[in-house]
Amino acid sequence: MPNSTTQTNNSSPLSSWLTQLPKIELHLHLEGSLEPQMLFDLAVRNNVDLPYVNVQEVTKAFQFTQLQDFLDIYYQAAQVLVTEQDFYDLTWAYLLKCKEQNVLHVEPFFDPQTHTDRGVAFSTVINGIDQALTDGKEKLGISSELIMCFLRHLDEKSAFETLEQAMPFLAKLKGVGLDSSELGHPPEKFSRVFAKARELGLLTVAHAGEEGPAEFIWTAINDLKVSRVDHGVNAIQDPELITYLRQTQMPLTVCPLSNTKLKVFEHMQQHNILDLLALDICVTVNSDDPSYFGGYMTENFEALAQALDLNQTQAIKLVQNSITASFCDEQRKQELTKILNDYQ
């Protein structure tokens, strides 16, 4: 156990302990796990023109410092995803990374409108992803639940059309979410489509309080009736909301490296995740868009260890929170809890 002055590095005891720590990921955009090499490989495979000629140029383009600049690049890169095999390969590569980092259960997001709006069939997207998740369960032992996100910069009509397209595939979906540009697009814009999704038996989550105000967290909870808030770090601006989150144990899926890359916090030392944990809020650690933000699950935990002296007790609590907040069944939750307890 490191003391408060211990600096971790990739070969420190804490670092290898964090790599082997059983983990759960609840906030991951599959399109955000598209690594530069796969981006180039798929561009060649599908004959898609990219504005970059090599990995160095991609790295240079990834120097964004706010959500919208990131999203512009993220949507452009997603254009290389065309066939069912592409969506399979993307998802499978993410699952292999999970295996490497002992991530045992995942609840990834995908953005169908990013693909259907350029002519890719909904079935192509979901079948490729679903087949990889099925194989991930069988061959890697990684359990999963899939969440379909609506793009909040698009209108309600487009979200309804997307839900309609999802109807034949409801058995492959656990829930719906809301992502993309937060400012100017409050959760209540999607109250009716979320109500319809709930009627269909889907759970709901929404990005809120990342760049947007605490008010958006309230409306995600009250209007969209979410089971978890994605990001939610701006809850700290509203003491009443903090009390509510503690009393209800409403989970927040926090993404440390994403928040510093997009300047929600200037430096990791200023990140509030451990303050929220100390306040007994159900915070969890997640990677968001790992190929854009500098790391997967282990790197996010490591960043907290380096900047905020995260200790083993806190890390275990963060994973336990993820198990509690997950959408898997009780039996799987018990299995995951046992694996975590055996690790301690």
The residues that touch ligand HPA, with contacts defined as CB under 6 A, are 29, 32, 67, 179-180, 207, 210, 258, 288-289
CB 248 to Zn ion: min, Å: 22
The amino acid sitting at 231 is H
Nearest Cα to Cα of residue 254 among 197, 302, 207, 200: 207
* Nearest residue (beta carbon) to Zn ion: 288
In angstroms, rounded to a whole number, what is the distance separating the alpha carbons of residues 54 and 71?
20
Q: Footprint of Zn ion on residues 277-296 (CB under 5 A)?
A: 288
Residue (38 or 233) nearer to Zn ion, CB: 233
How many binding residues for Zn ion (CB under 5 A)?
Answer: 1
Residue (15 or 180) nearer to ligand HPA, CB: 180
Residue (22 or 251) nearer to ligand HPA, CB: 251
In degrees and rounded to multiples of 5, residue 50 shows phi and psi of -115, 150
Residue (74 or 301) nearer to ligand HPA, CB: 74
Annotation says 164 is catalytic: no
CB 313 to Zn ion: min, Å: 27
* Active-site pick, 210, 211, 299, 302: 210
* Nearest residue (beta carbon) to ligand HPA: 179
Give long-range contacts, CB 8 A cutoff, 24+ apart: 162-169. Answer: 162/112, 162/113, 162/116, 162/122, 163/193, 163/196, 163/197, 163/200, 165/112, 165/116, 165/122, 166/112, 166/122, 166/126, 167/200, 168/123, 169/122, 169/123, 169/126, 169/130
Query: Which partner, Zn ion, ligand HPA, none, binds residue 32 by CB below 5 to 8 Å per kind?
Result: ligand HPA
Query: Which partner, ligand HPA, Zn ion, none, binds residue 174 by CB below 5 to 8 Å per kind?
Result: none
CB 146 to Zn ion: min, Å: 15
In angstroms, rounded to a whole number, what is the distance separating the alpha carbons of residues 175 and 200?
10
CB 180 to ligand HPA: min, Å: 5
Query: Which partner, Zn ion, ligand HPA, none, binds residue 210 by CB below 5 to 8 Å per kind?
Result: ligand HPA
Neighbour count for residue 268 (Cβ, 10 Å)? 17
Nearest Cα to Cα of residue 298 among 91, 18, 34, 33: 18
Rounded CA Rg of the chain:
19
In angstroms, rounded to a whole number, what is the distance separating the alpha carbons of residues 182 and 262?
13
CB 315 to Zn ion: min, Å: 21
Residue (75 or 327) nearer to ligand HPA, CB: 75
Query: Which partner, Zn ion, ligand HPA, none, binds residue 180 by CB below 5 to 8 Å per kind?
Result: ligand HPA
What would the two tokens of residue 156 be?
A: 């309600």
The amino acid sitting at 162 is T
In angstroms, rounded to a whole number, what is the distance separating the alpha carbons of residues 83 and 81?
6
What residues line the site for Zn ion (CB under 5 A)? 288
Catalytic residue IDs: 210
